[in-house]
Amino acid sequence: MAPTSNYAVVFFDVDSTLVSIEGIDILAAGNPEVARLTEAAMNGTMPLEQVYERRLAAIRPTRADIERLAGLYVESLLPDGERVVHELRVAGADVHLVTAGIEQAILPLASHLALAPRAVHAVALSFDEGGSYRDFDRRSPLTRRGGKELVILDVRARSKGKAAFIGDGITDAEARGAVDLFIGFGGVTIRDRVRELADVYVTDPSLASILPLLVQG
């Protein structure tokens, strides 16, 4: 019998979930203040909306910086990440990426995973003609606390069946009420608060460990 997904839609966070890096910290090139803000947002000690603009204003990434990050995302896929996404899709799941990361850097990763642009939910940046940073999409709910839940509910409104979400941070755990199963992922970084909120928590660095929770047969 062919494998069948238990969930019609499967959502993944990207940074420290599908890949082993935090894109914003790569762009910050070791800036300790940016790293501190990222960790505060992921652990829930500071609301994302207080962090998002401050980090980008400090970094001001260029278009070239984002293109380099896109390559690093593909190189940093976790063990079995590509296989897991492929097997979920073969089993019938509609796979989406939901992240506060930068859309232009996430799209090539999605393409590498054979996911269509419609499956990417991220934050677009704008640049001037010379490729210098101008701003981010301030309308995106993903720059605010609770934004992932809104995105997931919007996708689910257009689909039928159960949904699961896999993520490492508190902004992911906040969306657990929008899905039938929230898998906290500690394969890159263990976050105690996320472990407390998750339906299931995994610490294996290979994403293959989540497949039995999502697929049968």
Active site residues: 13, 15
Exposure of 134 by Cβ count < 10 A (0-12 exposed, 13-18 middle, 19+ buried)? Answer: exposed
Residue 140 CB partners (closer than 8 Å, separation 6+): 123, 124, 147
Do the Cβ atoms of 18 and 81 come closer than 8 Å? yes
CA distance 151 to 76: 25
Do the Cβ atoms of 27 and 180 come closer than 8 Å? no
Q: What is the CA radius of gyration of the chain?
A: 16
